């Protein structure tokens, strides 16, 4: 098993082959898509072993995330071709100035270099991450989770065959075989070898990165997402949006965790909310949502009294914390105290309140009259995504191709001195 620093050095050494080979990138992606298709049986077999080994230890949701099918692999290959079809993020001239002294300064987008990603369970991240990195001119080092190890290895093998088919070094995609904490820490500490580290996983992994990383690192994912229902909201629409944001996929980071309701509509709206999320779901055999209520909400509908941490918890489950607020200002203040900066929404027909909310809420995505579930690279039109940044530096929200580039200033002169 190769040690992490050796893998990083090999990957970095391969980077040169990609510089100035921009024309080859799309060919490589096409070859990779073809190899994912032709290696489908081998990938499925590796995945079958992973799923078998995981069956006793993991729940259904997790097993579903882990499992590949011929359709999912076809989807993976299709995703690769979609990324190939996107505009090249390299070499864009972001600004051009000609100075009075004749210097021509071009701020030009360039790849970051070596991008490393630490991720869990879903093997399709392996293909997504590799392909986004390559399309943007980067080399990539992948460090997936133990439970998907065989699947990831098989996918990486197919990707590398594709790179070789296109005449590029297979080491452009590094693969860390060690799935221990140790290798994650080694990536965090590899200053000078990693240009960007993206931890994509639970809160514990993100925290370790923030505290220990000596390489540039982007915080992703944790989403305590709020929806605020203003007094002027269309309440029918509000019920649809809230049910969608909470229940369409409770395990993901853009799912709603907290609902804030304007006091003027609390008495009329909360009973309808309870009907929609609890009673009606029970009737039709869907999982009912557990409502954790602040005292003002609890005065109107039945539910669990909210505990101290309920407004600071990413439940990732059929649980919704509910509070009544005096208005948009209080909603904004609540969000400022409790949000993780991922996605928040206001439901309103009052333009002034919408403007106040979008101006004041300091999160990656701020919605007016739509579900928070749209915070996603595909839904934003970026192709697939490398993760969703909840920090403000460099990238915010879904990270697509542009977010995997930096820039440099290319300055052309004819002898200028200062």
Question: For binding to its own copies (CB under 8 A), which residues are involved?
Answer: 16, 19-20, 97, 99, 103, 105, 110, 112-113, 191, 195-196, 210-211, 214, 216, 218, 234, 237, 240-241, 244-245, 248, 354, 358-360, 362-371, 373-375, 379-381, 391-394, 396-397, 406-418
Nearer to its own copies, 79 or 397 (CB): 397
Taking the least distance from each CB to its own copies, the nearer of 183 and 371 is 371
CA distance linking residue 79 with residue 205, whole number of Å: 27
Q: How far is the CB of 105 from its own copies (least distance, A)?
A: 6
Q: Which stretches of 146-293 are DSSP H helices? A: 149-165, 181-189, 203-212, 235-247, 263-274, 280-283
- Output the smallest distance, CB 41 to its own copies, in A: 33
Cβ proximity to its own copies, 76 vs 112, nearer residue:
112
Tokens 């040690």 belong to which residue?
A: 3
Q: Which is nearer to its own copies, 5 or 214 (CB)?
A: 214
Q: Which residues of 72-83 are buried (b: 16+ CB within 10 A; e: fewer)?
A: ebeebbebbeeb
- Closest separation in Å from C-beta 107 to its own copies: 8
* Least distance in angstroms from the C-beta of 281 to its own copies: 16
Three-class SS of 15-60: HCCCCCCHHHHHHHHHHHHHHHHHCHHHHHHHHHHHHHHHCCCCCH
- The minimum distance between CB 151 and its own copies, in angstroms, equals 27
- Least distance in Å: CB of 374 to its own copies? 6
CB 178 within 8 A of CB 51: no
Nearer to its own copies by Cβ, of 218 and 323: the residue is: 218
Burial (Cβ within 10 Å: 0-12, 13-18, ≥19) of residue 407: middle
If the CB atoms of residues 36 and 116 are measured against its own copies, the closer one turns out to be 116
Closest by Cα among 77, 397, 370 to 220: 397
Looking at beta carbons only, is 117 or 156 nearer to its own copies?
A: 117
CA distance 15 to 274: 56
Q: What DSSP string runs through 328-342?
A: HHHHHHHHHHH--SS
- Closest approach of Cβ 418 to its own copies, in Å? 4
């Amino acid at each position: 098993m190769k040690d992490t620093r050796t893998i990083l050095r090999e990957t970095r050494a391969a980077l040169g082959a990609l510089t100035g080979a921009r024309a080859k990138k799309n060919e490589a992606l096409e070859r990779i898509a073809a190899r994912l298709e032709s290696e489908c049986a081998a990938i499925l077999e590796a995945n079958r072993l992973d799923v078998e080994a995981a069956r006793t230890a993991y729940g259904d949701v997790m097993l579903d995330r882990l499992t590949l099918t011929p359709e999912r692999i076809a989807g993976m290959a299709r995703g690769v071709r979609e990324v190939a079809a996107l505009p090249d993020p390299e070499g864009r001239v972001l600004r051009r100035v000609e100075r009075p002294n004749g210097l021509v300064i071009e701020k030009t987008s360039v790849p970051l270099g070596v991008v490393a990603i630490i991720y869990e369970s879903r093997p399709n991240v392996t293909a997504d991450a590799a392909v986004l990195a390559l399309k943007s001119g980067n080399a990539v080092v992948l460090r997936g989770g133990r439970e998907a190890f065989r699947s990831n290895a098989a996918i990486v093998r197919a990707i590398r065959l594709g790179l070789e088919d296109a005449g590029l070094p297979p080491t452009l995609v590094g693969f860390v075989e060690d799935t221990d904490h140790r290798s994650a820490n080694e990536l965090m500490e590899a200053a000078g070898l990693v240009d960007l580290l993206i931890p994509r996983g639970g809160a514990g992994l993100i925290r370790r990165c923030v505290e220990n990383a000596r390489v540039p690192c982007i915080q992703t994912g944790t989403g305590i997402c709020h929806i605020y229902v203003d007094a002027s909201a269309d309440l029918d629409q509000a019920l649809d949006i809230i049910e969608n944001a909470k229940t369409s996929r409770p395990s993901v980071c853009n799912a709603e965790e907290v609902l804030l309701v304007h006091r003027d509509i609390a008495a009329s709206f909360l009973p309808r909310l309870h009907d929609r999320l609890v009673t009606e779901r029970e009737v039709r055999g869907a999982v009912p949502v557990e409502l954790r209520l602040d005292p003002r909400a609890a005065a109107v509908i039945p539910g669990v009294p909210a505990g101290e941490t309920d407004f600071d918890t990413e439940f990732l489950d059929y649980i919704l914390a509910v509070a009544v607020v005096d208005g948009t200002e209080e909603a904004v203040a609540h969000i400022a105290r409790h949000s993780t900066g991922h996605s928040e929404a206001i439901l309103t027909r009052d333009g002034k309140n919408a403007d106040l909310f979008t101006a004041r809420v300091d999160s990656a995505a701020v919605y007016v009259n739509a579900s928070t579930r749209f915070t996603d690279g595909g839904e934003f039109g970026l192709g697939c995504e490398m993760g969703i940044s909840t920090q403000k530096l460099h990238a915010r929200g879904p990270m697509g191709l542009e977010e995997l580039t930096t820039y440099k200033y290319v300055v052309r002169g004819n002898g200028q001195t200062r």
